[in-house]
Amino acid sequence: MDPTTIVRSVESLAAVFSVLIGAAFAAWSQARVICTTMDTMGRQPEIAGELRFTMIIGLAMIESLAIYCLLVSLIILLLKWQ
């Protein structure tokens, strides 16, 4: 194997692991946020509207983690290193 093939293989693996880890942590975090919010809404239904709004903002921020990981992996795959 020539060095270029090895480098491209390592870049591909880095991109795959970037998306894998980012998506896994984003999914786990979103599930935890939803679970906690639903539990709190059940305990204090009078603040359900506030909690729902805060939960949606939090979920959007967590989802941005997965999007950033996707962008990093695309940069790794599409950028031609010198």
The pLDDT tens digits of the residues spanning 22-61 come to 999 999 999 999 999 999 999 999 999 999 999 999 999 9
Task: Find the domain containing 48 and state its range.
Answer: 3-78
**What CATH number has the domain bearing residue 13?**
1.20.20.10
State the Cα–Cα distance between residues 38 and 45, nearest whole angstrom.
10
**23 in Cβ contact with 69 (< 8 Å):** yes
Instruction: For residue 72, give both structure tokens.
Output: 């990093």
- φ and ψ of 58, to 5 deg: -65, -40
Nearest Cα to 22, choosing from 57, 56, 71? Answer: 71
Number of domains forming the structure of the chain: 1
State the Cα–Cα distance between residues 66 and 30, nearest whole angstrom.
11
pLDDT surpasses 80 at 81: no
pLDDT surpasses 70 at 11: yes
What integer pLDDT is reported at residue 82 of this predicted model?
A: 59
What integer pLDDT is reported at residue 60 of this predicted model?
A: 95
